[in-house]
Structure 1
Amino acid sequence: MTGALEDKRTATRFRILVEIADRQPAVSQGEIADAVGVTSQAVSEYIRELVADGYVDKEARSRYRVTKEGVDWLFQEAKGLRRFAEHVTEDVLESVQEDAAIATAAIEAGETVTLSLRDGLLHATPDDTGPATGVATTSADAGEDVSVTGFEGVIEIDPGRVTVVQVPSARAGGSRAVPAAGLQNVCADASVVVAAGVEAVLSLRDAGIEPETTFAAGEVAAEAAARGVDAVVVATADAVGRVTDALRDGDVLYEVTEAGAAVGVDFGAETGGDGSSTSDGADAGDGAADDA
């Protein structure tokens, strides 16, 4: 463990050296004392020790610089603090945090459960053999919510895929140019359907589909895919770029599909196998936006 966590004196020494490094070369011992929470006399004593140990050079009255040895010591202590912080956040807190899951069968408090994602929601099954497990902190019957903690392992997730359907702007025909049957076909197997833009919303409504949201469509679809749920984003031409940016940020596989220019024209798909749309698809989207 880092010395800054083992005793108060080393911790104070570390903080004072950090303050010197932050303020050098003109160093006010009074300001450091206020920042660290000790007296100015104590700061003066610590600085004398740091100079004697070769961690600080005194250039003149109230002018100090941290030496290479001092920087190396700060890095060493900081790395130790970082490792300890990671241990706390990743090992300790992750294991004691609680989350809610849907019980697949009757569960008693204290029972070990196997965790899985179904339809994007966490489920708990009374079993300790799965790749991801936890401990129930409440009792629940099948279909009820149960609180789970003590997480171990990794939940197996088959990432969902997102289809982005680009519809023309109102000036280029808008929802009137979108074949309802084709849109129904694209959305048929998707668990989540969202819309970006007025033309997109009306295209879905003409197809008898009500979007689950018309806000932050790309972010919603990315979150759904991360939870193993397939999604369709119907987006107006000038909104496609914002949607695909959000999907790329979420490292989500997606394809861009253009609606036909007139009713009865089939959808044509352009797919990016690496999780991004092809250059042709991007050019088509930009062109449609320019036309708008």
Structure 2
Amino acid sequence: MMKAFKKRGALTHFQILSEISKQDPHLKQKDLAKKLGITIQAVSENIKTLTELGYITSKDGRSPYKITQSGIDKVKKDAISLRKYSDSVLETMNHYKTIWPAIAKEELKKDDIVGLYMDDGVLYAHKKEENATGIVLDDAEENMDVSLTNLTGIIDMKVGEVTVINVPTIKDGGSKKCDLDLIKNVYEKGTNNNEIFNKVAVAGTVSRAVTNKLGISIDIEYAAPQASANAARKGLNVLAIVVGDMSKAFTRELESEKIKYNIIDGAL
């Protein structure tokens, strides 16, 4: 913070003096408190201090309040300090660029205008025309990360869906009571729209045992509800094999994120 406002209460003093300088004869302490978002007691204490410093005058600490020449000089000095500080912040913000990372699908050069698209949940940049574009900040080799700015347009991306297969707890028989043929068939068939599952999530030891038995690779294991919803938002379809009541965490997360899902009973 700039030097003029380093002392505790300095900004409040500046605000009170600024309001009093408007020469409103009906200005009350409660009006100042409301405008500044502080208590009437705090206003009273600050006015007492400002009076002792010779910046304002009043009769018995009551309105009408008048700002002295010393107070005017103080406000001007602090206002200039505040303006310089604000100008420096604005100058910094004008040079600040929002940077987005992507994977370069081909060799890209600084200042290239590129098209952007999503594939398998990853943002890619190339020189072909797309509905979304960006400007390359630094040279990048093919298949390497590239920094982009000035993103415009809409990235073509559909939202994926999640299929939750609920399997028995170990108390209810675990994997021995799972309909493995059903689970395998769902995995191989894909979504209700016959699209492949891009990611497989598990929640619970029984779920891991089932994937081991069926030779299905696990992509998501930790924070599975949140990770599954995040994957779906990026256009990926997720198969989640979930033990018992753990499915409730999935449904809550998916519903809150407005992700399409369906639940299948994976028990025999």
Q: So what's the TM-score if we normalise by structure 2?
A: 0.66
Please point out which of 4, 24, 33 is paired with 1:20.
33
Distance 1:24 1:172, change over 3 A: same
Alignment of 1:221-232 (within 5 A): 221-232=228-239
* Distance of aligned partners of 1:179 and 1:151 in 2 relative to their CA distance in 1, 3 Å threshold: same
Counterpart for residue 121 of structure 1:
122
Which amino acid counterpart does residue 174 of structure 1 have in structure 2? G
RMSD: 3.6
Percent of residue pairs identical: 23
**Residue 258 of structure 2 is aligned to residue 251 of structure 1:** yes
Equivalent position amino acid for 1:123 in 2: Y
Give 1:44 shift: 7.7
Pick from 227, 245, 249: which aligns with 1:242?
A: 249
Q: Summarize deviations over 1:9-48 as a string: whole Å, max 9, x none.
A: 9x93699899823443433444699xxxxx7348985999
- Contact map agreement 1:116 1:122 (CA 8 A) in 2: yes
Aligned residue identity for 1:257 = I
Bigger shift: 222-231 or 15-24? 15-24
TM-score by length of 1: 0.61
- Judged with a 3 Å threshold, the aligned counterparts in structure 2 of structure 1 residues 214 and 47 are, in CA distance, closer, same or farther, namely farther
CA contact (8 A) 2:166 2:267 kept: no
Q: Shift of residue 104 of structure 1?
A: 1.4
Rate the CA distance shift 1:117–1:31 in 2: closer, same or farther, 3 A. farther
Structure 1 residues 192 and 24: alpha-carbon distance in aligned structure 2, compared to 1, 3 A threshold: same
Contact 2:199–2:220 at 8 Å: present in 1 too? no
Quote the Cα distance in structure 1 between the aligned partners of 2:229 and 2:207: 18
Runs of 5+ unmatched residues, structure 1: 1-7, 34-38, 54-87, 262-292
For residues 55-83 of structure 1, what are the alpha-carbon distances to aligned partners after superposition, in whole Å with 9 as ceiling and x for unaligned? xxxxxxxxxxxxxxxxxxxxxxxxxxxxx
2-structure distance, mates of 1:193, 1:43: 73
The answer to whether structure 1 residue 217 and structure 2 residue 218 are counterparts is no
Is the CA contact (8 Å cut-off) linking 1:181 and 1:207 kept in structure 2? no
Q: 2:213 aligns with which of 182, 206, 210?
A: 206
CA distance in 2, matches of 1:152, 1:139: 20
Structure 2 match to 1:174: 174
Note closer, same or farther for the CA distance 1:40–1:252 as it changes in structure 2 (3 Å cut): farther
**Does the residue aligned with 1:195 lie in a helix, a strand or coil?**
strand
Contact 1:32/1:43 (<8 A) preserved? no
Q: For 1:175 and 1:32, locate their aligned partners in 2 and report how far apart those are by CA, in whole Å.
A: 75
Partner residue, 1:103: 104
Higher Cα Rg: structure 1 or 2? 2
Distance in structure 2 (CA, Å) of the matches to 1:259 and 1:98: 44
1:110–1:138: 8 Å Cα contact kept in structure 2? yes
Residue in structure 1 matched with residue 149 of structure 2 by the alignment: 149
- State how far apart, in whole Å, the 2-side matches of 1:159 and 1:252 are: 8
